[in-house]
């Protein structure tokens, strides 16, 4: 067998069974070998940013990595933004980047570029496979790196001749590095810190699922510490029956208000809270002056840590959970608030909500807090264009669950090609585009950064009018059913029909910009 087949068999044996790809000539042996390895599924994306974001969404839901297959440096560049988001989400991704044959690189052919440098900027593990003898082991090591502690984006650079030459065959999976043990001294330190008056527990990452949230709720019940979560969790299990946690606000001023009075903050599986951006005369660090901050090494299992702390505190097992609550269907004007209400009124059980609604999504978390149990996936790294890819990957991972893909119009224009992949793969994704015809967050930020004069040229860089985007036409152009809602009643009805449908549907919700 050739290197490509040995590689793909090794991936499949290690549990990697989906490859999101937009291949090129240097990847043709990999593509040809797909048919030789039954468990490996190839899913075509029409742009590499779709492939990398889909791999992120898949792994957030499947708890095992998908592979990507990208075409040399430019393909990696196209996938970079969503690999950046996956890196920030600590998602395991096996990021495979094809390259010229080893002996061809020195000729500096037109597609030659420094793949290694780009990979190192979005990926904490980078392996370049140099001979067919090693390619299977390189693949196994890349999967292990992705599934290590913490999980990560792991890149394998794959020269064409390493794929096409004869290989000895696949290898057994490399065991990933397990999480570090929870040291008694760490448990004691966290217990002590959280027992301080004014203490705050900040949770994120892997603690945002049921076991972590229950442990966190027990810990704060026992200590009296206040509980917050990071602003943009990768995957948050929520809804009626689960402990609630208030997210730190995106706006630094609001986050500072939330953290007002904090004396000691313990951050578990999330960094110490800092402002998303710097602003003139505003603080970068969000904790109050004098507040001590304890962060936990990301190699430690954060859920095990919280459970050990709860045990050490002898915390009661029962915790307060969100009560079931659903708003009524809204009537009248369609706004970001009534869309949120309408979504909450019909949220399906076990829905996967992908949230790239940005400013238009302000009311969504509140409206859905008491809904049926669901997963909420956020834009983790601030690079817009993640939503449609993430929804596509989540829908591939969970074919029996409804995916709600909530999109701001500005962000929707980034990686919209994924709608076609949703149609081709017949995935159950309902996309709602919040069409306010504006980069609303930037209009808000333009005021916040202290820019004094705001003229028409500047405003024109932040609005999406002239011409208006027609998302119904765009979706239909990629084979996705679509409709436009102008009132709350329209939206209720279209959402009900969309949720009853098998396969992707898009609703353009025409709303006014928030007066931010």
As a 3-state breakdown, the chain gives helix, strand, coil percent values, each rounded to 5, of 40, 20, 40
The yes or no reply on residue 382 touching a second copy (CB under 8 A) is: yes
Write the interaction track for a second copy spanning residues 449-468; mark x where CB under 8 A is met and - where it is not.
xxxxxxxxxx-xxx-x-xxx
Tell me how far, at minimum, the Cβ of 244 lies from a second copy, in Å.
Answer: 23
Least spacing, CB of residue 31 vs a second copy, in Å: 5
Question: What is the closest distance, in whole angstroms, from the C-beta atom of residue 188 to a second copy in the complex?
Answer: 28
Residue 418's closest CA among 42, 49, 89, 27?
A: 49
Cα 190 → chain centroid = 28
CB 126 within 8 A of CB 120: yes
> Residue 291 is encoded by which pair of tokens?
């507040």
Among 271, 288, 327, 372, binds a second copy (CB under 8 A): 271
State which of positions 311-340 bind a second copy (CB under 8 A).
Answer: none
Q: Does 113 bind a second copy (CB under 8 A)?
A: yes
Tokens at residue 327, please?
């708003």
CA proximity to 270, closest of 296, 293, 248, 305: 296
Of residues 218-247, those binding a second copy (CB under 8 A): 232
Q: Smaller CB distance to a second copy: residue 232 or 491?
A: 232
Q: Which of 63, 134, 189, 445 binds a second copy (CB under 8 A)?
A: 445
Segment 118-147, which members bind a second copy (CB under 8 A)? 118, 120-122
Angle between helices 302-312 and 184-194 (to 10 degrees): 70
Whole-number minimum distance, CB 327 to a second copy, in Å?
31
For a second copy, the closer CB: 113 or 196 = 113
Which residue, among 151, 42, 155, has the nearest Cα to 94 in the 3D structure? 155
Residue 371 vs 504, nearer CB to a second copy: 504
The smaller minimum CB distance to a second copy, of residues 338 and 411, is found at 411
Angle between helices 387-397 and 48-62 (to 10 degrees): 50
408 Cβ neighbours under 8 A, 6+ residues apart:
356, 357, 358, 359, 360, 361, 384, 433, 434, 436, 440, 441
φ and ψ of 206, to 5 deg: -70, -10
Q: Does 100 help bind a second copy (rule: CB under 8 A)?
A: yes
Helix and strand numbers (H, E) in the chain are 20, 18
Residue 107 Cβ vs a second copy, minimum distance, rounded to whole Å? 4
Nearest to a second copy of 193, 234 (CB atom) = 234
Identified binder of a second copy from the candidate list 15, 63, 74, 499, rule CB under 8 A: 74
154 vs 345 by CB, closer to a second copy: 154
* Most distant pair of Cα atoms in the chain: their distance: 67
Total residues binding a second copy (CB under 8 A): 103
Instruction: Rank residues 276 and 326 by Cβ distance to a second copy and give the closer one.
Output: 276
Q: What are phi and psi of 494, to 5 degrees?
A: -70, -35
**Does the footprint of a second copy cover residue 280 (CB under 8 A)?**
yes
Considering beta carbons, is residue 133 or 285 the nearer one to a second copy? 285
Q: State the Cα–Cα distance between residues 328 and 312, nearest whole angstrom.
A: 43
Token pair listed for 276: 């998303």
CB of 106 to a second copy, least distance (A): 9
396: closest CA among 419, 374, 429? Answer: 429
Regarding 251 and contact with a second copy (CB under 8 A), the answer is no
Q: Where are the beta strands (DSSP E) in 379-428?
A: 403-408
Binds a second copy by CB under 8 A, chosen from 58, 164, 363, 434: 164
User: In whole angstroms, how large is the CA radius of gyration of the chain?
Assistant: 23
Contact region with a second copy (CB under 8 A), list: 258-266, 390-398, 400-408, 414-422: 414-422
Residue placing its CB nearer to a second copy in the complex, 239 or 385: 385
Q: Give the nearest distance from C-beta 255 to a second copy in angstroms.
A: 12
Say whether the peptide bond before residue 148 is cis (omega within 30 degrees of 0): no
Member of 7, 9, 12, 26 binding a second copy (CB under 8 A): 26
Asked if 177 interacts with a second copy (CB under 8 A), we say no
- Of 430, 416, 425, 414, nearest to 475 by C-alpha is 416
Nearer to a second copy, 166 or 318 (CB): 166
Binding-site member from 124, 149, 192, 275 for a second copy (CB under 8 A)? 275
Cβ–Cβ under 8 Å, residues 273 and 251: no
* Segment interacting with a second copy (CB under 8 A) among 95-103, 257-265, 302-310, 355-363: 95-103
When asked if residue 288 is in the footprint of a second copy (CB under 8 A), the reply is: no
* Phi, psi values for residue 267, rounded to 5°: -105, 120
Per-residue interface string for the shown chain with a second copy, residues 472-491, x marking contact by CB under 8 A: xxx-xxxx------------
Residue 49 interacts with a second copy (CB under 8 A): yes or no: yes
Select from 10, 16, 18, 21 the one that contacts a second copy (CB under 8 A): 21
Does residue 363 bind a second copy (CB under 8 A)?
A: no
Structure token pair of residue 451: 């820019």
Q: What is the DSSP letter of 166?
A: B
Identified binder of a second copy from the candidate list 12, 14, 80, 158, rule CB under 8 A: 80
- CA–centroid distance for 193 within its chain: 31
Q: Which is nearer to a second copy, 369 or 446 (CB)?
A: 446
- Retrieve residue 435's tokens: 């069409």
Instruction: Indicate whether 110 belongs to the interface with a second copy (CB under 8 A).
Output: yes
Short-list 97, 131, 95, CA closest to 2: 131
């Amino acid at each position: 067998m050739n290197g490509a087949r040995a590689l793909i068999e090794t991936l499949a044996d290690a549990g990697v069974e989906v490859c999101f790809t937009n291949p090129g000539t240097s990847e043709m042996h990999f593509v040809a070998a797909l048919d030789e390895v039954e468990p490996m599924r190839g899913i075509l994306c029409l742009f590499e940013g779709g492939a990398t974001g889909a791999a992120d969404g898949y792994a957030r839901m499947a708890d095992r990595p998908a592979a990507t297959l990208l075409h040399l440096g430019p393909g990696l560049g196209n996938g970079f933004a969503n690999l950046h988001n996956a890196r920030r989400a600590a998602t395991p991704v096996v990021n495979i980047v094809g390259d010229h044959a080893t002996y061809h690189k020195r000729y500096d052919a037109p597609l030659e570029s420094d793949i290694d440098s780009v990979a190192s900027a979005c990926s904490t593990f980078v392996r370049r496979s140099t001979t067919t003898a090693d390619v299977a082991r390189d693949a196994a090591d890349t999967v292990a790196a992705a599934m290590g502690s913490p999980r990560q984006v792991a890149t394998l650079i794959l020269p064409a001749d390493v794929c096409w030459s004869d290989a000895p065959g696949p290898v057994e999976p490399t065991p990933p590095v397990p999480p570090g043990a929870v040291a008694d001294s760490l448990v004691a330190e966290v217990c002590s810190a959280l027992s301080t008056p004014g203490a705050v527990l900040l949770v994120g990452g892997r603690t945002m699922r049921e076991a972590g949230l229950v442990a966190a709720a027990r810990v704060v019940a026992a200590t009296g510490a206040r509980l917050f979560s990071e602003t943009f969790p990768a995957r948050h299990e929520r809804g009626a029956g689960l402990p609630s946690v208030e997210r730190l606000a995106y706006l630094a001023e609001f986050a500072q208000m939330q953290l007002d009075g904090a004396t000691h903050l313990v951050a578990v599986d999330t960094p110490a809270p800092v402002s998303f951006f710097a602003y003139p005369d505003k603080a970068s660090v969000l904790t109050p002056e004098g507040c001590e901050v304890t962060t936990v090494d990301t190699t430690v299992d954060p859920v095990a840590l919280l459970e050990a702390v709860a045990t050490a505190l002898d915390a009661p097992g029962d915790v307060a959970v969100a009560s079931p609550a659903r708003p009524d269907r809204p009537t009248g004007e369609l706004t970001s608030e009534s869309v949120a209400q309408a979504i909450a009124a019909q949220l399906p059980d076990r829905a996967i909500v992908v949230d790239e609604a940005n400013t238009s999504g302000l009311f969504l978390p509140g409206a859905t807090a008491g809904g049926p149990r669901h997963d909420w996936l956020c834009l983790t790294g601030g690079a817009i264009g993640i939503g449609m890819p993430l929804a596509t990957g989540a829908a591939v991972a969970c074919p029996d669950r409804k995916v709600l893909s909530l999109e701001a119009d500005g962000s929707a224009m980034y990686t919209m090609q994924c709608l076609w992949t949703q149609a081709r793969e017949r995935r159950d994704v309902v996309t709602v585009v919040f069409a306010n015809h504006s980069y609303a967050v930037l209009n808000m930020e333009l005021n916040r950064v202290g820019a004094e004069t705001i003229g028409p040229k500047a405003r024109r860089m932040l609005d999406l009018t002239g011409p208006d985007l027609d998302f119904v036409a765009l979706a239909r152009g990629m084979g996705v059913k679509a409709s436009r809602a102008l009132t709350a009643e329209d939206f209720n009805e279209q959402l009900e029909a969309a949720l009853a449908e098998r396969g992707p549907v898009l609703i353009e919700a025409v709303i006014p910009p928030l007066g931010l």
